[in-house]
Amino acid sequence: MGIEIKMPALSPTMEEGTLAKWLVKEGDEVRSGDILAEIETDKATMEFEAVDEGTIGKIVVPEGTEGVKVGTVIAEMAGEDGESAETAPKAEESAPPARPEAAPDAPKKAESGTAKLATQAKATIADPDLPQGTEYLKTTVREALRDAMAEEMRADERVFVMGEEVAEYQGAYKVTQGLLEEFGDKRVIDTPITEYGFAGIGAGAAMGGLKPIVEFMTFNFAMQAIDHIINSAAKTNYMSGGQMRCPIVFRGPNGAASRVGAQHSQNYGPWYASVPGLIVIAPYDAADAKGLLKAAIRSDDPVVFLENELVYGRSFDVPKVDDYVLPIGKARIVREGKDVTLVSYSIGVGVALEAAEALAGEGIEAEVVDLRTLRPLDTATVLESLKKTNRLVVVEEGWPTCSIASEIAAVVMEQGFDDLDAPVLRVTNEDVPLPYAANLEKAALIDAGRVVQAVRKVCYKS
């Protein structure tokens, strides 16, 4: 029996990639460890090594093919007995990688629970402040963040970026790609793995008059540095009677990633949003990521800027304007509706939008509010929407207890009680550390289905 060579997953979040180059041809003998091909993920170009020994029988996916899903058969190899795998059914090139190839009793590829967070949902309403006829560029969130930093670094000598692997490695998640080349190692600085220390150095540099951008590889590691974020950065202006500022941006990915377990999967939005003296921003799409990061860098206040690894590679329309800066502290209605308000932020917005689409099929028109900034919270936009819909569900990829959802529920009760026709419901992750096992992870995370259920409930339709 021959061996099928399948498109490998080369990172926790990789769903597809480009088969950039074959380094073997049909008929070549390969030994274990030989490099078969170069595969481009959204983060890097990786070499793909042979595991089994044998002869390359047929190359199924030619080089240069983009969007090859993980698990697709890309080549067949004759085993040591020389029998080719030609008899096996082949994946249709254009078709999505259905996996009938696998024998029915073979273990199926474990799908991360985060797959259901990764919707393709986008806002249905353009930024109303942009003039008619504005051109848009398809941009990934990753590129939008990089562009924001590069533009602000060009404009202001005081801005620099520091963190683990931000310079020579081009960013652990490739967000700082190209910055070292343009700005040099004075302004793009690799640090040792010492979050507490470099967060303090960043905060001190900000007190000394610079404008640092401190990247945490993920916000999970910022726990080591949280003392400087809160005690040093957030409180200084107040404690000094307004004399000593700390204009710094702490940024990096936040929230659940794919199958990385409890210590690498947590949403810190509610933690930081509870601290007076901080600005907390958590954008969903690329345009907001760009416009709000630029605003964050310009701000004279310390900003915690929460990104999401699962959306880094997703493309959105970003307006092609010279200096796209968005206001901090303003929520955005990303879909209009009259029957229920869905409030969310960061990756939860995609889930809310997907749910809204499904609900539209049931005749329920959901309005989706993307908070964008978690502190200060734009309660006016939320309350305004509630006035119209009289029902509200908060969608949050994070724990339920003391969450942004709890805060919204409290605000709505205090200030919008008379507008409520049903109790506010919270759709959040389960109240457990995020498990590793694929099925448990899936059970722990929010999805559009749960949002739909909650909406039916507040509409008394379940």
Partner 1 sequence: MAKPTTPRPSRAKPKPAIPAGADHNRPRPDAPVDYKASKEELLEFYRQMVLIRRFEEKAGQLYGLGFIGGFCHLYIGQEAVAVGIQSALEPGKDSVITGYRDHGHMLAYGIDPKLIMAELTGREAGISKGKGGSMHMFSVDHKFYGGHGIVGAQVSLGAGLGFAHKYRGDGGVCVAYFGDGAANQGQVYESFNMAELWKLPIIFVIENNQYAMGTSVNRSSAEDQLYRRGESFRIPGLQVNGMDVLAVRGATEEALKWVKDGNGPILLEMKTYRYRGHSMSDPAKYRSREEVQEVREKSDPIEGAKKHLEAAGISEEELKKIDQDIRKIVSDAADFAESSPEPDLDELYTDVLVEQY
Active-site residue list: 195, 264
Please give the helix or strand (H or E) that residue 413 lies within, else none. helix 404-416
Q: Is 63 an interacting residue with respect to partner 1 (CB under 8 A)?
A: no
Out of 203, 280, 296, 356, name the contact with partner 1 by CB under 8 A: 203
DSSP-based three-state secondary structure for 379: helix
Segment interacting with partner 1 (CB under 8 A) among 70-78, 195-203, 346-354, 391-399:
195-203
DSSP-based three-state secondary structure for 73: strand
Q: Is 177 an interacting residue with respect to partner 1 (CB under 8 A)?
A: no
Collect all residues with Cβ–Cβ distance below 8 Å to 412 and sequence separation of at least 6.
382, 383, 386, 392, 420, 424
Out of 74, 145, 206, 340, name the contact with partner 1 by CB under 8 A: 206
Out of 376, 379, 420, 422, name the contact with partner 1 by CB under 8 A: 376
Segment interacting with partner 1 (CB under 8 A) among 33-41, 72-80, 102-110, 199-207:
199-207
Residue 1 vs 239, nearer CB to partner 1 = 239
Number of neighbouring beta carbons within 10 Å of residue 93: 11
Out of 200, 252, 348, 350, name the contact with partner 1 by CB under 8 A: 200
Out of 83, 127, 301, 357, name the contact with partner 1 by CB under 8 A: 301
Q: Is 96 an interacting residue with respect to partner 1 (CB under 8 A)?
A: no
Token readout for 429 is 């992750």
Segment interacting with partner 1 (CB under 8 A) among 28-36, 231-239, 304-312, 345-353:
231-239
User: What are the residue ranges of helices labelled H in 176-285?
Assistant: 179-183, 195-207, 226-227, 236-239, 269-273
Out of 64, 208, 261, 433, name the contact with partner 1 by CB under 8 A: 208
Residue 178 vs 329, nearer CB to partner 1 = 329
User: What does the alpha-carbon distance between residue 194 and residue 145 come to, in Å, rounded to a whole number?
Assistant: 24
User: In whole angstroms, how close is the CB of 190 to partner 1 at the nearest point?
Assistant: 10
Out of 89, 100, 192, 363, name the contact with partner 1 by CB under 8 A: 192
Q: Are strands 29-30 and 54-59 parallel, antiparallel or unpaired?
A: antiparallel
Three-point CA angle 401, 406, 410, nearest 5°:
145
Q: Is the CB of residue 157 less than 8 Å from the CB of residue 210?
A: no
Q: Is 237 an interacting residue with respect to partner 1 (CB under 8 A)?
A: yes
Of 81, 19, 26, 73, nearest in space to 53 by CA: 81
Residue 210 vs 360, nearer CB to partner 1 = 210
In Å, how far are 6, 76, 78 from 38, measured between CA atoms? 13, 17, 21
User: What does the alpha-carbon distance between residue 10 and residue 5 come to, in Å, rounded to a whole number?
Assistant: 14
User: In whole angstroms, how close is the CB of 196 to partner 1 at the nearest point?
Assistant: 4
Residue 218 vs 236, nearer CB to partner 1 = 236
Of the CA atoms within 13 Å of residue 373, those in its CB half-sphere come to 22
User: What does the alpha-carbon distance between residue 462 and residue 410 come to, in Å, rounded to a whole number?
Assistant: 25
Q: How far is CA 231 from the centre of its chain?
A: 28
Segment interacting with partner 1 (CB under 8 A) among 11-19, 145-153, 266-274, 324-332:
324-332
Residue 79 vs 204, nearer CB to partner 1 = 204
**186 phi and psi angles, rounded to 5 deg:** -75, -30
Please give the helix or strand (H or E) that residue 251 lies within, else none. strand 249-253
Number of neighbouring beta carbons within 10 Å of residue 450: 18
User: In whole angstroms, how close is the CB of 275 to partner 1 at the nearest point?
Assistant: 10
Out of 254, 373, 385, 403, name the contact with partner 1 by CB under 8 A: 373
User: What are the residue ranges of helices labelled H in 274-378?
Assistant: 286-298, 348-360
Residue 24 vs 230, nearer CB to partner 1 = 230
Q: Is 381 an interacting residue with respect to partner 1 (CB under 8 A)?
A: no
Residue 85 vs 303, nearer CB to partner 1 = 303
Q: Is 232 an interacting residue with respect to partner 1 (CB under 8 A)?
A: yes
Q: Is 231 an interacting residue with respect to partner 1 (CB under 8 A)?
A: yes
- In this structure, the chain runs to a length of 462
Out of 21, 58, 99, 245, name the contact with partner 1 by CB under 8 A: 245
User: In whole angstroms, how close is the CB of 273 to partner 1 at the nearest point?
Assistant: 13
Binding to partner 1 in span 270-299, by CB under 8 A = 276-277, 279, 299
User: In whole angstroms, how close is the CB of 343 to partner 1 at the nearest point?
Assistant: 19
Segment interacting with partner 1 (CB under 8 A) among 39-47, 124-132, 190-198, 333-341:
190-198
User: What does the alpha-carbon distance between residue 392 and residue 99 come to, in Å, rounded to a whole number?
Assistant: 40
In Å, how far are 25, 84, 282, 321 from 12, measured between CA atoms? 29, 32, 22, 34
User: What does the alpha-carbon distance between residue 392 and residue 385 come to, in Å, rounded to a whole number?
Assistant: 9
Residue 194 vs 439, nearer CB to partner 1 = 194
Residue 238 vs 436, nearer CB to partner 1 = 238
User: What does the alpha-carbon distance between residue 89 and residue 101 come to, in Å, rounded to a whole number?
Assistant: 6
**Residues in the site for partner 1, rule: CB under 8 A?**
160, 186, 189, 191-192, 194, 196-210, 227-228, 231-232, 236-245, 247, 276-277, 279, 299-301, 327-329, 373, 376
